[in-house]
Structure formats: C-alpha cells, structure tokens
C-alpha cells in the first residue's frame, strides 16, 4: 500500500476490476468505429455502445434514448446549462451557492449571451434555501441547476421542493449527480429532473467519460458540433472503452449501494463521533445521517490554517483534501464552506477545513489508523499562538 492511505474518494476513485475487464477488448482487438456499421468490427463497437447505454439507463431508471455520453461531469454540466440557456433568450441561470465550479462557471459563461446568473443561498447545513429559489424564479429563468449531493460537505439535497419550485414556473431543471451516482440510489423518474449529470471516475470507472441524462421531450441545444454521434448533440467518435467501463462500474456500484452504505456510514460516523467528542472548537460541516453521503467526513477547526492541516495529514500518510473559507483569501479556499458559514459567528475564524472521503477500497483498519493518528495531528494543530490567545480570552 506504499504507506499511503487513500481517503480522497470524492476527488476520484480507483478503477474497479469489473470496469477494467469491460474496457480491455475495446482497447485491444475490438477497435472498430461505432459509426462503421457495415462490417462486424464496427457493428460490434456499436452494439457495445448501445449495451452500455442500456446498462447506464437501467441503473438510473431512465430509458436508453435518454442517455448521452460525454467526456465527464464537467462537460455534462456545461452542456446542460448552455443547451438549456440558449432555448430561453434572456432567461436567468439559477444555481445554488454550493454548486461545483463546473456549474458555477458554466452559468457565468452564459452572461455574454444575455443570461444573468442568480445564486441561491444555502443554510448552515448546505441545504438550498427554497424560499430564495422561489423568489429568484419570479423573474424569467432559463434553467435551475441544483446538485444532488455536494462534493465537499456530502450534504444530500432535499430534491422534492426544488423540483416543485422549478416546474411550477415551467423552468428546466438540471442536477449535478456526479457525487451521488453509484453512492446513493438514483431514480430519474422519481426525481423528475429534466437533466442529470454523472461522471465515471467518481464511481470506480475510468476518467474522462460521463453521461448526461436528458428526459424525453426536453428541448436543449447541441453541445459539440460535427458528426451525428449522440443524436447530433455531442459529435465526435465515442470513447467506446471508457463508456463500456463506465457502464460496468455503474452497474457494480449501484448493486453494492445497500452493503456499502451500511459499512461506510458506520466508519464515517465513528470518525465524526471522534471529532465531536475529542477535538475542541472543531465543527462538522454538512448535514448528518441519511442526508450525508456515506463516505464523507468534513470538518473545520477554529484558528487553524488549512494548508498546515493538509500537510500534517499528508506527513502522517493520509491522502485527504482541504478547502478553507474563501474569506481567508488563501489558495484552495472554498466557496462551499464559505456559503455554509455565511451567517455563522465563526465566519472568519473557521479556516482549516479537511475533507476525508472513504470509499469501497477503504478498510476498517484504515479508519482505525486515522483515529490513532488524529490525537497527534490535533495536538500539533492546537500548538499555535492564535488558538492559545483565543482560549485565554474565553477564560475571562
Ligand atoms: C468531480 C465533479 C465534477 C466534475 O466531473 P469530471 O468528470 O471530473 O469533469 C462535477 N461536479 C461534481 C459535484 C464533482 O464532484
């Protein structure tokens, strides 16, 4: 294991054996172009592509003709937002404050085409403020985009009220489900979003491949121009190996959701419990229980620098990720943590944030190793003048 324990599964995941097996033929002997249907090399590639489409659709309770393959979550989000925006001239793009940059920046890019961005605030746990969303929708809107689960805090969106608010006004609804797919059950018919993005490398599939679900009858513009692939919406010879790998990865991950949820929630809640009980002036970011992704732990500490926190985890052999408050002005700062602390008395003093994300290949022993290492890490973090002064000032 080369001395490193990987706790950064929200950044990316290790390719599973099922995905690799599904990819291998398409990286070797089955090299035909899916558009060359006259001979069997091409026809075989085509049938692998359509089989993968059926598998992805089945995992989301979608129809195969509602699945469009892309190069990943970023592209799917960009397509959904620009494709929807261009159908409603002058309509706003309405997004939650905690969206991934692939949504926020895609929204901002629509400004030059006459679409302003409206950013809807979240509460202290990261739930979108539905009253603010309704208020935003009193003006003309082209599309609402609210993610299904947050990549930093793990907060799982209460989607029903958001779906109602958007559709009451007849506005198209997109959801970035990149962190949710393969980790929590997704049923597009129940969610009733018009578009939904997924990315293979977040559920043990290969990097550089994803999909956009577009509900039948939803009219959005094409994204990549050229050949007639993906029904003219996304031109370019398909990444057949990647797509086959994604489909197997999603099928496998979806089947494992019940057992993995139980196992990962137990590990997650042990770590969260330890932090709450043993680290003074530490705060868990995001919702808890069923409204938190199974493998996500995210916490902030008062008077700690995020970079130093990350260095200590790295030196102790743990791959984790940071995300400090934006107000700190430091590189790696997070608009997500900032949005959660918008009305908190700790805004400005919460600086160091660590995200520990567990996945399928993490073991109980690895979680034990983290819990054994935490006291020493915390001791080093707490050995700083600002914190000592803060503690003194509390005593007065
Ligand atoms: C990783 C991620 C993306 C980007 O997906 P890529 O496939 O890496 O482009 C988008 N949204 C969320 C929530 C993510 O976690």
Helix (H, G, I), strand (E, B) or coil at 234: strand
Helix (H, G, I), strand (E, B) or coil at 286: coil
CB 147 less than 6 A from any atom of ligand 1:
yes
77 within 8 A of 100, measured Cβ to Cβ: yes
Per-residue pLDDT of the chain (396 residues; tens, 9 = 90+): 457 999 999 999 999 999 999 999 999 999 999 999 999 999 999 999 999 999 999 999 999 999 999 999 999 999 999 999 999 999 999 999 999 999 999 999 999 999 999 999 999 999 999 999 999 999 999 999 999 999 999 999 999 999 999 999 999 999 999 999 999 999 999 999 999 999 999 999 999 999 999 999 999 999 999 999 999 999 999 999 999 999 999 999 999 999 999 999 999 999 999 999 999 899 999 999 999 999 999 999 988 888 889 999 999 999 999 865 555 455 557 899 889 988 888 877 777 899 999 999 999 999 999 999 999 999 999 888 888 888 888 876
- CA–centroid distance, residue 199 to ligand 1 (Å): 7
pTM, entire model: 0.96
State the catalytic residue, choosing from 16, 30, 319, 326.
326
- Does the annotation count 326 as an active-site position? yes
Residue nearest to atom 15 of ligand 1 (CA): 151
CB 73 less than 6 A from any atom of ligand 1:
yes
- Quickly list H helices, the chain: 17-27, 40-60, 73-85, 101-108, 130-136, 159-168, 188-191, 240-278, 306-315, 335-340, 364-382, 385-395
CA distance 166 to 186: 19
CA distance 115 to 285: 32
> Measured from the CA of 210, which atom of ligand 1 is nearest?
7
Instruction: Tell me the two tokens of residue 122.
Output: 């979240």
> Measured from the CA of 99, which atom of ligand 1 is nearest?
13
Site to probe by mutation for ligand 1, drawn from 104, 175, 176 as the one with most ligand atoms within 8 Å of Cβ, is 176
């Amino acid at each position: 294991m080369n001395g490193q324990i990987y706790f950064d599964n929200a950044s990316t995941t290790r390719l599973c054996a099922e995905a690799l097996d599904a990819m291998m033929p398409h990286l070797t002997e089955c090299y035909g172009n899916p558009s060359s249907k006259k001979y069997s090399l091409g026809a075989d590639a085509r049938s692998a592509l359509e089989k993968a489409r059926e598998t992805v659709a089945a995992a989301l309770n979608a129809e195969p003709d509602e699945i469009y393959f892309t190069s990943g979550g970023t592209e799917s989000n960009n397509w959904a937002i620009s494709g929807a925006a261009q159908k409603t001239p002058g309509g706003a793009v309405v997004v939650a404050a905690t969206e991934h940059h692939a949504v926020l920046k895609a929204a901002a890019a629509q400004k030059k085409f006459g679409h302003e961005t409206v950013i809807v605030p979240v509460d202290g746990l990261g739930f979108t403020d539905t009253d603010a969303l309704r208020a935003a929708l009193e003006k003309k809107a082209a599309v609402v985009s609210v993610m299904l689960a947050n990549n930093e805090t793990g907060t799982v969106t209460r989607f029903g009220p958001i779906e109602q608010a958007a559709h009451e006004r007849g506005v198209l609804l997109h959801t970035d489900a990149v962190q949710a797919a393969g980790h929590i059950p997704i049923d597009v018919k129940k969610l009733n979003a018009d578009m939904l993005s997924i990315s293979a490398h977040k559920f043990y599939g290969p990097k550089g491949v994803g999909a956009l679900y577009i509900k039948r009858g939803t009219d959005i513009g094409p994204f990549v121009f050229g050949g007639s692939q993906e029904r003219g919406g996304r031109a370019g010879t398909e990444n057949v190996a990647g797509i086959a790998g994604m489909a197997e990865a999603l099928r496998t991950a979806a089947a494992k959701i019940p057992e993995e949820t139980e196992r990962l929630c137990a590990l997650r809640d042990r770590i969260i419990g330890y932090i709450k009980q043993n680290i003074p002036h530490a705060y868990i970011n995001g919702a808890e229980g069923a409204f938190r992704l199974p493998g996500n732990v995210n916490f902030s500490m008062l008077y700690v620098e995020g970079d130093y926190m990350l260095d200590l985890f790295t030196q102790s052999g743990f791959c984790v990720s940071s995300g400090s408050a934006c107000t700190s002005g430091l590189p790696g700062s997070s608009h997500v943590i900032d949005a959660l602390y918008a009305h908190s008395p700790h805004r400005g003093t919460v600086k160091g944030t660590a995200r520990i994300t567990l996945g399928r290949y993490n073991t109980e022993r690895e979680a034990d190793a983290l819990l054994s290492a935490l006291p020493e890490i915390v001791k080093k973090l707490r050995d700083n003048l600002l914190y000592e002064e803060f503690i003194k000032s509390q005593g007065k």
